[in-house]
Amino acid sequence: MAEKVEGSFCFTILSKNNELYIVKGDNPITLIKFDGFYMYASTKEILMAAVKKLGLKSANECLKITVDDG
């Protein structure tokens, strides 16, 4: 599917087993996990602005997840 898409894209799938799958193009992604949910954005700055606006706990207390190709 990803081979057919042009431009910037990011598809996410959350399985019934709570597994998160991410398919993205060459665009950047920043992903963090809070208690019970994931948040992601293209840049850390955008993500941290959303965390602040939502009044969530400090991003320093969140699990930062490294995303690998494959």
DSSP helix/strand/coil, 8: coil
φ, ψ (nearest 5 deg) of residue 11 = -110, 135
Decide which of 61 and 33 is more confident: 33
pLDDT at 9: 82
Does the pLDDT of residue 66 top 70, yes or no?
Answer: no
What is the amino acid identity at position 40?
Answer: Y
Per-residue pLDDT tens over the stretch 1-59: 667 877 778 888 888 987 888 888 777 888 887 767 788 888 888 888 888 898 887 65
Mind spelling out the 3-state secondary structure of 51-67?
HHHHCCCCHHHCEECCC
